[in-house]
Structure 1
């Protein structure tokens, strides 16, 4: 394989030296490719040339944003621990190779892991077939019982921090904020991915296929936590609502229960968790929309995402309030 000099230089020198020390004798980094779609970190696929002239792929996660560098030690170690746990399960995920969570050896905190085949699929087409797959995969994640529980989940907003998007229904948003102002409902704890959504799930959708699409991997485990299954369902629901429309956000919870998942007993409890996840998107609409546009969803402007969020909050209050 010919080494692409510009691609090889994309990995910083100290980090490249650290990666090389994790390789088998006779292996080398033969090429790199920037992986798009991530929000919090730089992601690169590294093509590794082996001694027998074949190749294998690894993935390098690097935190460079100062905010995430500050929290990298906890997040990267948490992900490495989760990947080690998942290696002995039926949940398809990368395997951990090495972690430098404090940037002792690398320019920035980094995690090296195995590569999982497949790609993210964010198109409207085929969504009806993918939603049940997402639901079944999340049920399988929640069935895991780690010997050591991860951190208890953290809420991503508070009632006083919520700022409705421009043009949002003030009455609906005031009611929604009042819901999350109440104490959190009691729940039965589960192992959570905590950032489970279509952008962190890889599919094989290559034709021809007689069985249809199937999930090949679940990635980005830096937020894994212990908490209610409703919270993971809420996060995927919010993302589906913003990507594909509010009806799909409502549909996902149904699909989760159809797959055998168990949610909170009352509508009020379900509404709490669903809104606790949805309302923070008001402050981050552009943050989530930008990678979606890069992935081909050009119509998902910040304004379009805010309008869908407003409609989704209203739909939740109508359905569960």
Structure 2
């Protein structure tokens, strides 16, 4: 039996084992780093006649393989788990027939009827999250842009579309850094998002697309996207909003030039953004201001992945410089 922050997960384990093929068993459980909203665990599954090596490979075929268990353990996300997990389960089913590299759904207990925490279990995707500063950053950025354009190209009948997009901040909720030397810059940014949202053409949005939710394999010319994860926020809305979110994340991870380059890479990959600079500025600022004052929410999982250089002062400075760059280009 495995302990999880002082609580046993025996019920969750029984539930997962109930969806395995006859004779299969959970041989090993490993924590996956980099998550914020959920507790993520890799479950190595083996047949009953396995030698117990625990090294999972492909799914099925009488040999070991791996699953991923997502569990909402924080009170806020537990309350919203039924809608979040139902949405992700639906999206994973939708994507099974397409070319987006997403996991396959195995089972979902959105209300925690059988599990200690509301949970979803899915297939394990190859690859790893890459957030380090290295020579692959430009190529990763281009691949991220290509993958996001492919996500936005997913077509579906109107009756099957996900919920409409939601803003993650508003003028009254923006937290301006206390020590900023450019208060007028922040005031201007807040004023922009105080206007009515621009008219836009909707498309299928991941809504939380950023380097922490994309898996890569290889390096250099062999670098490739191997998976896109975390579909709980999937929405229908403007492509600019997904581009804005990834741009902000790239800014915080790698600096303002990386964040400013992403929209161009997205359009080069065949994606379409609004032609109106002021409208695009609205979407970029709406996303960026949701990270204020110091982007600590994303910094915690990124530090777990090795980016210990991302201190609050560094992130705050990058976010402020990014606002300035957005005004210089799009205002």
TM-score by length of 2: 0.92
The alpha carbon displacement at 1:11 in A equals: 6.8
Q: Which residue of the partner structure matches residue 98 of structure 1?
A: 107
Which residue is 2:20 aligned to? 23
SS in 2 for 1:33: strand
Structure 1 residues 231-251: Cα deviation after superposition (integer angstroms, max 9, x where no partner): 000000000000000111110
Please say which of residues 74-83 and 285-294 is displaced more in the overlay: 285-294
> 2:266, 2:309 → 1: CA distance?
28
* Aligned position for 1:46: 43
Structure 1 residues 14 and 284: CA distance shift in structure 2, 3 A: farther
Residues 131 and 253 in structure 2, CA contact (< 8 A), matched pair in contact too: yes
Contact 1:229–1:262 (Cα < 8 Å) also in 2: yes
When the two structures are aligned, how many residues end up with a matched partner?
314
Structure 2 stretches lacking a partner, 5+ long: 51-62
Write the deviation string for residues 234-285 of structure 1: whole angstroms up to 9, x where unpaired. Answer: 0000000000001111100000000011001110000000000000100562
The answer (yes or no) to whether the contact 1:7–1:32 under 8 Å persists in 2 is: no
State the Cα distance separating 1:166 from its structure 2 match.
Answer: 2.7
* Distance (whole Å) between structure 2 residues aligned to residue 285 and residue 254 of structure 1: 24
Structure 1 residues without counterparts, runs of 5 or longer: none
SS in 2 for 1:296: coil
Secondary structure of the 1:71 match is: helix
Is residue 118 of structure 1 aligned with residue 115 of structure 2?
no
Residue 149 of structure 1: aligned partner: 161
Once the two structures are TM-superposed, the CA of residue 212 in structure 1 deviates from its matched residue by: 2.3
Tell me the equivalent position of 1:298: 308
- Using the TM superposition, give the Cα deviation of residue 51 of structure 1 relative to its aligned residue in structure 2, in angstroms: 4.2
The TM-score normalised by the length of structure 1 is: 0.95
Task: Please name the residue that 2:208 is paired with.
Answer: 195
Supply the distance in 1 between the matched residues of 2:294 and 2:163 (Cα, whole angstroms): 24
- Quote the offset at 1:303 in angstroms: 1.6
The equivalences for 1:109-188 within 5 A come to 109-125=118-134, 126-147=136-157, 148-168=160-180, 169-188=182-201
Question: Mean Cα displacement is larger for which, 267-276 or 43-52?
Answer: 43-52
SS class of match (2:122): strand
CA RMSD in angstroms comes to 1.6
Q: 1:84 aligns with which of 74, 85, 93?
A: 93
CA distance in 2, matches of 1:7, 1:115: 22
Q: Deviation of residue 167 (structure 1)?
A: 2.5
Deviation at 1:146, TM superposition (A): 2.4
Residue in structure 1 matched with residue 60 of structure 2 by the alignment: none
Provide, for residues 72-121 of structure 1, a one-character-per-residue CA deviation record: whole Å limited to 9, x for no partner: 00000000101111111110010111000000110110000000000000
Contact 1:165 1:310 in 2 (8 A): no
